[in-house]
Amino acid sequence: MKFVDEAIVTIRSGSGGAGCVSFRRERFIEKGGPNGGDGGDGGDVILRVDPSKRTLYEYRRQKHLSAKNGSPGLGQQKHGKNGSHCYLSLPPGTIVFDAETSEILADLTDPVKEIVIARGGMGGRGNKRFATSTNRVPRFAQPGIPGVEMKLRLELKLMADVGLVGLPNAGKSTLISSISAARPKIAEYPFTTLTPTIGMVEPPFGEPFAVADIPGLIEGAHEGVGLGIKFLKHIERTGILVHLIDSGGIDPENPLAQFQLINNELAMHSDTLANKTQVVVLNKIDLTGTENRVEAFRNALPDQTVFTISAATGNGVKTLVNHLAQLLQATEPEDKG
């Protein structure tokens, strides 16, 4: 399944059916009165969360969605059939905007909640409704109220407890595959990960937590360079960021270069990302020659706890998972962005 995080769809609620103009016509009844029934109500367009869905791909293909119109009323005071509703089943974390004004109409996080985004038109009243003592033979009925049409922009922000960020080839895919059942593509070249991957981690204590592997960021990501800007918004909802750094790529003369580059991109994208709780992790310590580089990094960042791991061999990974579980236990849900 392709990962699609944005789509634009046009929706339309159903129009109400017209009321009926009808008169009672029966044998041996000399003066039959009005008996036109009401038209049926148009169907609503309803948003709901489907936890089984992970992308907005189907809404890239199906761009027009409509509820059914109500049926017109009938004689003998028969009410027209109401139009069936149209449901948009969306993945958790979808934000729904008015495409014309960019106003947020819904933020879908609750899997049991349904939101009527466009209500169907009411059916028109039949002529039976207009009969009075002074107008016993009304020869008119109401038309149904038209449905509502609007254009929506759907934007998916993945919901995870922990987001992995770092330069391409920092080892994010290897790490998530070692701590969860997720199996992203892993290779010895940059931008191997082209779509976000979520894995569930079961720590030795506490609740399981979700980790998102975000495609590698590069300088200028906040301006659209590389793949980063497309996915920066996904980590705004995470509670914790794991900043993964390739220890073999640390320059002893400027050890914080990689670290500062990524943090600058996060800050330029939003204050939300700049203020996230961040766990700094130096990866690939199994490679020869990394000891001096790790030491230089730690000396340059003396006030920050720095974890060292080898995602490939598992060295230090359990300690990191335990630390993340402790942080998440101490973090209230509302602290997530």
The Cα 22–Cα 127 span in angstroms is 7
Residue 316 tokens, joined = 């230090």
Assess contact for 90 and 52: CB atoms under 8 A.
no
Look at residue 190 in the predicted model and tell me its pLDDT: 40
Average pLDDT rounded to a whole number, residues 303-311: 94
Round the average pLDDT of the chain to a whole number and report it: 84
Least confident of 85-99, 157-171, 208-222, 306-320: 208-222
Question: What local confidence, expressed as pLDDT, does residue 237 receive?
Answer: 73
pLDDT over 60 at 220, yes or no: no
* Residue 137 binned pLDDT confidence (cut-offs 50, 70, 90): confident
User: Is residue 300 over pLDDT 80?
Assistant: yes
Residues written for the chain: 337
Sequential DSSP letters for 174-231: HHHHHHSS------SSTT---S-EEEEE--SSS--EEEEEPPPP-TTGGGT-TTHHHH
Q: What pLDDT was estimated at residue 280?
A: 96
The reported pLDDT for the residue numbered 191 is 39
Chain segment 240-290, per-residue pLDDT in tens? 999 999 999 999 999 999 899 888 888 887 888 888 899 999 999 999 889
